[in-house]
Amino acid sequence: GRTKDSILSSGYEALLGAVYLDGGLPAAYTMVETHFTALMDDVAAFNQHDTKTQLQELCQSRFHRSPAYKVVAELGPDHEKEFEVMVAMGKLSRYGRGRNKKEAEQAAARFLLQHLRENPELKNAD
């Protein structure tokens, strides 16, 4: 019984309601934030990672090859470095920025993936 999702969610909902009635919205918000911030960060990181995978799969199926990533700029002082990366699929390319190379690659992949999804008629990247 203690691991059944419906029981756990009902219990959490009741507890959250009690916290809200006792301490108001700020207390309820703090409780939710305390319990779910790490989980939401994990989901965001997974979705970000999944963007490069999705682009890879789409390029393989549509163009029969992989996209190429290249760091085109390193901006800012060492303690606040920002990277700019270009992802290219033939003549198609998009740019992304991030606090590290991985983040910049993910941003670039997200922009190219969005472009390719919005233009399904593109079958040739050259």
Question: pLDDT 10s digit of each residue in the chain, 126 long?
Answer: 667 888 888 999 999 999 999 999 999 999 988 888 877 776 766 665 689 999 999 999 999 999 999 999 999 998 999 999 999 999 999 999 999 999 999 999 999 999 999 998 888 777
Three-state secondary-structure class, residue 69? strand
Kindly report the pTM of this predicted structure: 0.61
- CB 87, CB 67: distance < 8 Å: yes
- CB 82, CB 97: distance < 8 Å: yes
Q: What's the confidence (pLDDT) of residue 36?
A: 82
Q: Report the alpha-carbon distance of residue 66 to residue 88 in Å, rounded.
A: 9
- CB 12, CB 28: distance < 8 Å: no
CATH 1.10.150.110 holds for 47-118: no
Hey, what are 55's tokens? 């682009």
Q: What's the confidence (pLDDT) of residue 39?
A: 77
Q: What's the confidence (pLDDT) of residue 70?
A: 98
